[in-house]
Amino acid sequence: MKAIIQRYGVIAFLLLAVGTAAQAQYHNDLQFNVNYNVNIPSGSFRNFINNPAWKGFTAGLAYPVTSQLRVGLSVGYNDYYQKYPRQVYSEGAGSDVSAVLSNSVQQIPLLATADYTLLKKGLIRPYVGAGAGVDFVSFDQYLGEFDNPQSSAHLALRGEAGILIPLSSYSATAIRIGGSYNYAPYNRDGIKALDNWGIHAGVSIPIR
């Protein structure tokens, strides 16, 4: 499972690095965004894991098309885990096993993004954004020492809203604070989707 996550992570960061190298040659106002995320399962996902994913981040590039509209590419990572107390589980045909059940899900969404700042000026500038792309999922369930890992890729959609707080009137660097809803279709063990709510805080830095 770790090897799969590392592989997808390397691919995503290489794409970001290539994008940086290509865009920075022509645009001095390309922005690099990085956020710390906390994501909370919703819908049928909560039947599998209801603990928040405290290990999460999003990093991306955004090119200003206008003074208020930006488009770009982002990659994220969310690590969900839940451990249940020891119980007796039926294996069928009169066979039962007493074991600790653990569920683990890692998501790496790779999205094309767009966001729009509602105010051009001000100490606090609200923004709204959206993203669409692919969600790389590593799904595992441990029954005692036995597990059944699966990896797959699915559609991913994101809607978000938040605020930008410029560090000064002379700086393009800004604090980012906001929330998002992430739509992630999935179909396994009665789970129809890996949808989740997220909150994030980070920084937007111009690349010159």
Q: What is the CATH number of the domain that holds 41?
A: 2.40.160.20
Question: H-helix or E-strand containing 195?
Answer: none
Q: Are 55 and 93 in contact (CB under 8 A)?
A: no
pLDDT above 50: residue 144: yes
How many structural domains are present in the chain? 1
Kindly report, residue by residue over 145-203, the tens digit of the pLDDT.
666 778 899 999 999 999 999 987 777 889 999 999 999 999 877 788 999 999 999 99
First-to-final CA distance of the chain: 37
Give dist(CA 161, CA 164) in Å, integer.
10
Beta strand 196-207 with 174-183 is: antiparallel
Confirm whether pTM is higher than 0.85.
Answer: no
Kindly report, residue by residue over 63-122, the tens digit of the pLDDT.
999 989 999 999 999 999 988 876 655 655 556 666 677 889 999 999 999 999 999 888
Query: Domain limits at 82?
Result: 2-207
